[in-house]
Chain A
Amino acid sequence: MSSEVAGYGQYRELLERLLDSPLRLVGYAVFLFALPRVLPIGIGTQIAILGLFALAFNLLFGYSGLLSFGHALFLGTGAYGAALLVVHLDGPPVAAILLAVLVFEGAIALVTGLLSLRLGGVYFSMITLAFAQFFYELSFTVDGLTGGSDGLLGVYRPSLFGAGLVDLADADNFYTLVALLVLLVLGFSFLLTRSTFGRALVAVRENEERTTALGVNTYRVKLIIFVISGMLAGMAGALQGLYIRFVSPDILFWATSGDAVLNTLVGGMHTLFGPIVGTLFLHWMEDTFFATSPGAWNVLLGAVFVFFVLFARSGIVGQLRSLLRRVADWADRREAETTSIAAESDD
């Protein structure tokens, strides 16, 4: 970031204000509205759900710097939870399913968070991975409940409020529900990142020692964001189960956690919308290249990942943002040159 000058020029100032304004949410809404009209609605729904998952993951990773390598745990248990509720309770309203999953995932995140957050850095990543793998194995073991490797069949989408109110078997309705939830989470993230708690998260990420000395219970701050992130990832899981109408152990496999990491890094980890852009981008790439050459796809994915880590660490959205800033600064410099050198500027 360029910061040698105290004040900004007018274009840069305007840009910064725009970037910081709630107007961004309108942009996100337009994006989500356009998605199923540009792509087939099935793909649009899948991208929105996995984007929501990456968004939840990034709330933890991007803002507090905690790299969970086990977020599949929340996506998977959320999917199984929703599917089991549908199968065993004869299709309760989806609104009730989502609420139940949020509470359930909050409990799982609280327990796993309490146990894993005592350790920092790579140990935290390893323990979250271990928890997820434990549930992965468990999904085969308790096959009476989960259907084991055959997966859980017979899942369907009940209506949103019961009694046939808002039919979610309809693909448009279901997408609208997903998009509204994504917008809600984006709105919450927007408020969060500008709030005092958001600053506490950044402070923990940048310098935990100093943050403790300033009077912050950093362990509790990390636990709270871990629980929020787990709950939202679990909600994405519930939507995934209802969307596919089938759940198999694959959703708990470590590669699912890896997808969240990849989508977030490629899209932009210190950005709100990056995880969704990353999910869209990688999904599009997979669709384009996996079909033509499945073997080459993994190699290509590796190359993409290496490229972003080495040359574009701020991801697609981060790169776009710094490009906009550079353009604004360039416009300001041009303006300053043309409006005569005689005028003394005092900042």
Chain B
Amino acid sequence: MVLLDAAGLTKRFGGFVAVDDVDITVDTGEVHSVIGPNGAGKTTLFNLLAGAYEVTAGEITFDGRDITDLPEHERPYLGISRGYQITNTYESLTVFENLQTAVALYHQNYYDMIRSLANRTEVTERVETLLERFELAPQRNVEASSLSHGDRRRLEIGMALASDPRLLLLDEPTAGMDAGETERTVSLIQELTDDMAVLLVEHDIEYVMTVSDVITVLERGAVIAEGPPGEIREDERVQEAYLGGKADA
């Protein structure tokens, strides 16, 4: 079943076309990766889908509903959630408070000025579950700014999952991670897709090949290939544009 469907998506910054007439669909339960060399327009495409940028042309539908002009802050309520390429947490809050914020602001009425947040057991329970799932329980009282890089990346994904999304958008979730941390994150992502779709934007192609169901390759803002990992690996244009230099790496 098609969950996310973007057609003719275009983004211009002045005279520069960052994303050029891109069609992309994500099905329920699939991991769909967007890869491409630096400057290919991956992060711009990501921000269009997340609603952080306004679309110049084209349209986006989610679960049959046109969301092209839907404000970013309303998309989580349809089931779309996003992470950030550069870790984007609440630096001065603890791990627990970061997750508590993500859970409470989505699941509770955030205009409530009277009831104490600490007494909301339904929030606390969800936070505890997330702490366990992302192996962050020992660091619960540590401020986000003092976490190791890998821990912060996992906190970041945990916050994006607080809203129980149907589609999770992740921008280079393993950037800067060592091999062990990458592996943990990859298995985490594979677990997630039991009940949701994941759209990954990646620069590093190696683990994308193992984790993805479908790969879209971007070059200079346009799609040059799309298909399952095996097909992408064999595609001549892809090898030329992107894999060429690092085929042996």
Docked-complex contact A197 and B102, CB < 8 angstroms: no
Docked-complex contact B141 and A197, CB < 8 angstroms: no
Residue-wise, chain A 193-236 has the 8 Å CB interface mask toward B (1 for contact) of 01111111011001101111111111001001000000000000
Docked-complex contact B90 and A207, CB < 8 angstroms: yes
- Contacts A199-B104, A214-B159, A224-B111; is A3 near B94 (CB within 8 Å)? yes
Whether B129 is near chain A, meaning CB under 8 Å from some CB there, is no
CB distance from B127 to the nearest CB of A (A): 12
Docked-complex contact A200 and B90, CB < 8 angstroms: no
Whether B140 is near chain A, meaning CB under 8 Å from some CB there, is yes
CB distance from A313 to the nearest CB of B (A): 13
Whether A191 is near chain B, meaning CB under 8 Å from some CB there, is yes
Docked-complex contact B90 and A198, CB < 8 angstroms: no
Whether B74 is near chain A, meaning CB under 8 Å from some CB there, is yes
Contacts of B207 in A (CB 8 A): none
With beta carbons under 8 angstroms apart, the residue of B100, B101, B112 that contacts A195 is B112
Whether A1 is near chain B, meaning CB under 8 Å from some CB there, is yes
With beta carbons under 8 angstroms apart, the residue of A3, A197, A212 that contacts B112 is A197
Whether B59 is near chain A, meaning CB under 8 Å from some CB there, is no
Cα distance A199–B101 when bound, in Å? 7
Cα distance A3–B77 when bound, in Å? 34
Residue of A nearest to B106 (CB): A215
Contacts of B117 in A (CB 8 A): 194-196, 198-199
Docked-complex contact A216 and B113, CB < 8 angstroms: no
CB distance from B152 to the nearest CB of A (A): 13
Residue-wise, chain A 1-29 has the 8 Å CB interface mask toward B (1 for contact) of 10111110000000000000000000000
Residue-wise, chain B 111-129 has the 8 Å CB interface mask toward A (1 for contact) of 1111111101000000000
Docked-complex contact B105 and A211, CB < 8 angstroms: yes
Whether A192 is near chain B, meaning CB under 8 Å from some CB there, is yes
Cα distance A195–B117 when bound, in Å? 5
Docked-complex contact A196 and B115, CB < 8 angstroms: yes
- Contacts A3-B146, A194-B117, A198-B113; is A203 near B91 (CB within 8 Å)? no
With beta carbons under 8 angstroms apart, the residue of B74, B76, B108, B140 that contacts A196 is B108
CB distance from A237 to the nearest CB of B (A): 23
CB distance from A321 to the nearest CB of B (A): 15
A contact residues, total (Cβ < 8 Å): 32
Docked-complex contact B105 and A215, CB < 8 angstroms: yes
With beta carbons under 8 angstroms apart, the residue of B89, B111, B113, B115 that contacts A210 is B89
CB distance from B100 to the nearest CB of A (A): 7
Docked-complex contact B73 and A217, CB < 8 angstroms: yes
Whether B142 is near chain A, meaning CB under 8 Å from some CB there, is yes
Cα distance A5–B118 when bound, in Å? 21
Contacts of A221 in B (CB 8 A): 110
With beta carbons under 8 angstroms apart, the residue of A200, A210, A224 that contacts B84 is A210
Cα distance A191–B114 when bound, in Å? 5
Residue of B nearest to A192 (CB): B113
Contacts of B110 in A (CB 8 A): 196-197, 199-200, 216, 221
With beta carbons under 8 angstroms apart, the residue of B50, B71, B141, B162 that contacts A6 is B141
Whether B148 is near chain A, meaning CB under 8 Å from some CB there, is no
Contacts of B84 in A (CB 8 A): 210, 213
Cα distance A214–B163 when bound, in Å? 8
Cα distance A207–B105 when bound, in Å? 13
Q: Which of A98-139 contact B (CB under 8 A)?
A: none
Contacts of A6 in B (CB 8 A): 138-142
Residue of B nearest to A228 (CB): B113
- Contacts A6-B138, A218-B73; is A196 near B109 (CB within 8 Å)? yes
Docked-complex contact B76 and A206, CB < 8 angstroms: no
- Contacts A195-B114, A200-B110, A206-B93; is A212 near B72 (CB within 8 Å)? yes
Residue-wise, chain B 62-95 has the 8 Å CB interface mask toward A (1 for contact) of 0000000001111111000110100011111110
Cα distance A188–B120 when bound, in Å? 19
Docked-complex contact B92 and A214, CB < 8 angstroms: no
Cα distance A296–B141 when bound, in Å? 47
Q: A199-B101, A216-B105, A218-B73 are in contact. List 12 more A-B contacts (CB 8 A).
A: A3-B141, A6-B139, A7-B141, A196-B105, A197-B111, A202-B90, A206-B92, A210-B88, A210-B90, A213-B50, A213-B52, A214-B163
Name 22 interchain pairs, CB-CB below 8 A, sorted by A. Answer: A1-B143, A3-B143, A4-B142, A6-B138, A6-B142, A195-B114, A195-B116, A197-B111, A198-B117, A200-B110, A203-B101, A206-B90, A207-B90, A211-B105, A213-B50, A213-B72, A214-B76, A214-B101, A214-B162, A215-B75, A215-B76, A224-B111
